[in-house]
Amino acid sequence: MNHYPSSEQLFLFATVVDQGSFSKAAAHVGVHVSTVTRQIDQLEQLIKAKLLIRSSRFLGLTEAGRYLYDKSKPLLKDISDTVETIRTIEQSTSGVIRMSCLPTFGKMIVIPFLAQCHQQDMGIHVHLNLTERLVDPIVERLDLAIRVGEQPNSNLYPKKIGVQTWHICASPALLSQYSAEQIGQFNHLPLIDKCAEYNSLCWKGLEKSNVIATRCDDFHAQLMLAIAGLGVCCLPNWVVAPAIASGELVKVMDDPFDRCEAIYALRPFQKASAKVSLAMEGIETALTTLSGTMSADSQ
């Protein structure tokens, strides 16, 4: 197996030559003189050639040392420039973010955040994968995946960015067609349910005292059906909050089952880049604002 010098060894060698001594090179990079000496000794052993002429009064280059110095300087500059470029990319709040989330979450939370970024000329561009599928950010090379509910142990790094609660809502026009007793007892009302083979996600048994008016497997479409007055919906806070604030929907009651789930931003790397951190903060702020709208409506 061939062994080649490391960039650190070449860098220290070039620094020794530039500074004119081992002690000055050590002070320049902030390490002990013994560290520099050891690295240069290892470098000479690896390439099997003396690179420096050393004495108490003189430090010079051998022919091999001069050749290595001349050839390695451009390479070290390329490495330095590459590292600095990468650092700039990581520290920049602009650029492309690759993200996956539920279709309705993307439409109602992420896209308004992007519109705000565009208005402020922040230079953020998102490649948005709207899917119900549990996408693996590592396999599909994503920066973020937004998921709801407790996440199993994995090699992803989660950040809690919000809380999902559920609320039963209807349009003012629909509610005007029913008595206060029917609404208060939640009895004989038309419901908008989610298409599913298993027990109703939305109602968990409440449909027995009412009637399923329509079924739909998309939160945004359920919201539109409710606003149109076709039935009562049971949807997450981040879905119904804007419609409640605008008066298009009225909150009939909070979730009788008190469901509460954390919303997470999952990323493949422990340290988030500046633009990914900005996106997580923006989405978290949007969710916090919506939660505050729902809390204010309850008072």
Q: What is the per-residue pLDDT for 246?
A: 93
SS3 110: helix
Could you tell me the residue ranges of all domains in the chain?
Answer: 7-91, 97-299
Q: Which residues of the chain have pLDDT under 50?
A: 1, 198-199
Nearest in space to 298 (alpha carbons), one of 205, 119, 168 = 168
SS3 59: strand
Separation between Cα atoms, residue 230 and residue 249, nearest integer Å: 12
Phi and psi, residue 277, nearest 5° = -60, -40
Please report the beta strands in 181-258, taking only residues with DSSP state E, as ranges in sequence order.
Answer: 190-193, 211-215, 233-236, 250-254
Place of tokens 């920066």: 143
Nearest in space to 237 (alpha carbons), one of 147, 167, 160, 296 = 167
Contact criterion met (CB below 8 Å) for 144 and 97: yes
According to DSSP, the β-strands at 190-193 and 260-267 are: unpaired
SS3 219: helix
Q: What is the per-residue pLDDT for 1?
A: 47
Q: What is the per-residue pLDDT for 146?
A: 94
Structural class in CATH, domain 97-299: alpha beta
Q: Quick check: pTM over 0.85? A: no
Nearest in space to 40 (alpha carbons), one of 66, 75, 15, 18 = 15
According to CATH, the topology of domain 7-91 is Arc Repressor Mutant, subunit A (1.10.10)
Separation between Cα atoms, residue 159 and residue 199, nearest integer Å: 30
